[in-house]
A and B are shown apart, each in its own frame.
Chain A
Amino acid sequence: MSMEQELREKAKELLSSGKVKVVIGYGEGSIPIKSTPIFVKTPEQADCLVLNPTCTNNLTVYLPQAVKSGPVAVVAKPCEVKNIVELVKENQIKREDVTVIAVSTPGILNDAALAEFDLLDVKKISWKADGVAVTTSQGDTVIPRDAAFQKKCLSCTAAQPAIADIKIGDWAERAPLQDKFADVEEYEKLSAEEKRAFWAGQFSKCIRCYACRQACPGCYCNECFVDKNGQIWASKDTGAESNWFFHMTRMMHTAGRCTGCGECERACPMGIPLSLMGKKMSLLVKELFGTQPGESMEDAPVFGCYQTNDPDPCPE
């Protein structure tokens, strides 16, 4: 049985038994190169669920809202299960309200891999043993894994999730194809001045559409600091400095809950490498406090606790 069929069967069971009211999964997009989030509410609709290399969205972003109308099942890839862990630990959702359908896929397609294709002619995108097959009117073309998959997938080890109610796919631990932090290391070779120049270039592009924030499961505040009209900490102007202030604050707010799913960067229409900052945050959290977001249900949220022997600015 293919992963997709297995997913549909499980979704049908969950819905017909009444265990959940809705299954959040992926459906066919408006064109075969895209998939789209769908909210499956009846067993019959479960056949609309798809699972293929285009299933890129982090669906856990919908959970805090979705659980308000009853128990929910959600399709989550290994990096996204971590977001659920954080949402539960931070009391945004209750563990018992969420059925986690953890799916370990070979990897998710990176949009740039399709650059050479006529996107109107792509009929189907599917997994093959050694990569991703793109079906066009000319037949199948297989893109090898390291060119086909998103960076985060190339460094994925498919480690056992901290929570899962249903597991689909191959959960055998795998060797990462790429070092997750290679780009961070490369960036850190820059001088302080070069770093600021780099971000000046990046942040001058930001148009404040807030797609990064909206796509982020860690950004669940009812009212974002940038939307407050009373005390204006972050100006709405789009100067590089104001944008710097917005992104810096967002990074501090998501520190310790950013699992590196990369949705912020994918959602950004201006191509700002936001996950570079997120990755550094996760490295720092690990180095300073010894925890990794979403890896255990026991660790307290990183800024919601302290140890008396935490790293100190002037150790005795």
Chain B
Amino acid sequence: MTEQEERTEQVETKENAGWEPKLIGFLCNWCSYAGADLAGSSRLKYPPNMRVVRVPCSGRVNPQFVMKAFERGFDGVLVAGCHPGDCHYSKGNYYTRRRLMLFKEFLEFMGIEPERFKFDWVSAAEGQKFAEVVGELTESVKRAGPFEGVCKR
């Protein structure tokens, strides 16, 4: 199946009733992934729509990861890392902040609704915040509806 047919199939599936957004989250190993763990071990309830990819640092998040996720039909993407100043590698998140702040605006310019991309800081102690962030993203993606692909035909 070509990538294109794959995408068409995905969109068609989404048009069925009971659609639930498919989200992907890139979480930094030291803060946000631990924050997600804490949310779990604290038995906090949050929507189960997100698949998590653990990265060593939010600095590892190449904008291509986000592009690929949208290109392959994810409805929303989260990138989360340590708060500025708290990076395990001291400055990885400063670099990623520059990159992703620009990228976020650029995605909007290309017609991808800002509701679909969330970039935030979640520390290892912020289990509650993690649950909220995922909840907010799920809600905003639900409002935006099923993603029809990076190039709408």
Contact residues of A with B, CB < 8 Å? 188, 190, 192-200, 203-204, 225, 233, 235, 237, 239-242, 244-245, 248-249, 251-252, 255, 277, 280-281, 284-285, 288-289, 302-303, 306, 308, 310-314
Which residues does chain B contribute within 8 Å of A251, judged by CB atoms? 106
Residue contact B85 to A197, C-beta cutoff 8 Å: no
Chain A, interface SS category: helix
Q: Does B37 contact A (CB under 8 A)?
A: no
Which residues does chain B contribute within 8 Å of A311, judged by CB atoms? 97, 101
Pick from A190, A241, A314: contact of B150, CB under 8 Å: A241
Which residues does chain B contribute within 8 Å of A244, judged by CB atoms? 71, 110, 150-151
Pick from B94, B99, B109: contact of A308, CB under 8 Å: B94
Which residues does chain B contribute within 8 Å of A188, judged by CB atoms? 109
Q: Does B18 contact A (CB under 8 A)?
A: no
Contact residues of B with A, CB < 8 Å? 2-4, 7, 63-64, 67-68, 71, 84-85, 91, 94-95, 97-106, 108-113, 119-121, 148-153
Give CA–CA (A204, B7) in the complex, Å.
15
Which residues does chain B contribute within 8 Å of A195, judged by CB atoms? 109-111
Residue contact A249 to B120, C-beta cutoff 8 Å: no
Residue contact A308 to B151, C-beta cutoff 8 Å: no
Residue contact A314 to B121, C-beta cutoff 8 Å: yes
A286: min CB distance to chain B, Å: 11
Known: A192-B113, A197-B153, A249-B67. A312 touches B105 (CB 8 A): no
Which residues does chain B contribute within 8 Å of A204, judged by CB atoms? 151
7 closest A-B pairs by CB: A195-B111, A200-B151, A196-B111, A306-B94, A196-B152, A240-B151, A239-B4
Using A196-B112, A281-B102, A284-B105 as known contacts, list a sample of 6 further A-B pairs with CB atoms less than 8 Å apart, ordered by residue number in A.
A188-B109, A192-B108, A200-B153, A225-B64, A245-B150, A303-B99
Question: For residue B93, which residue of chain A has the nearest CB?
Answer: A306
Pick from A225, A242, A249, A308: contact of B3, CB under 8 Å: A242
Residue contact A313 to B85, C-beta cutoff 8 Å: no
Which residues does chain B contribute within 8 Å of A235, judged by CB atoms? 3
Which residues does chain A contribute within 8 Å of B95, judged by CB atoms? 303, 306
Residue contact A193 to B111, C-beta cutoff 8 Å: yes
Residue contact B102 to A255, C-beta cutoff 8 Å: yes
Residue contact B97 to A284, C-beta cutoff 8 Å: no
Which residues does chain A contribute within 8 Å of B71, judged by CB atoms? 241-242, 244-245
Give CA–CA (A292, B70) in the complex, Å.
29
Which residues does chain B contribute within 8 Å of A248, judged by CB atoms? 63, 67, 106, 110
Residue contact B106 to A281, C-beta cutoff 8 Å: yes
Give CA–CA (A257, B62) in the complex, Å.
18
Residue contact A310 to B151, C-beta cutoff 8 Å: no
Residue contact A192 to B120, C-beta cutoff 8 Å: no
Give CA–CA (A245, B84) in the complex, Å.
29
Give CA–CA (A281, B68) in the complex, Å.
20
Which residues does chain A contribute within 8 Å of B109, judged by CB atoms? 188, 195, 277, 280, 284
Residue contact B98 to A196, C-beta cutoff 8 Å: no
Most buried by B among A195, A196, A245, A251: A196
Question: For residue A195, which residue of chain B has the nearest CB?
Answer: B111
Give CA–CA (A255, B149) in the complex, Å.
24
Residue contact A310 to B3, C-beta cutoff 8 Å: no
A12: min CB distance to chain B, Å: 45
A207: min CB distance to chain B, Å: 16
A284: min CB distance to chain B, Å: 5
A28: min CB distance to chain B, Å: 41
Give CA–CA (A184, B16) in the complex, Å.
37
B41: min CB distance to chain A, Å: 24
Which residues does chain B contribute within 8 Å of A199, judged by CB atoms? 110-111, 150-151
Some 19 contacts from A to B, beta carbons below 8 A apart, are A193-B111, A196-B112, A196-B148, A196-B150, A196-B151, A197-B151, A197-B153, A233-B64, A235-B3, A241-B150, A244-B110, A248-B106, A255-B106, A277-B110, A281-B106, A288-B101, A306-B97, A313-B119, A314-B120
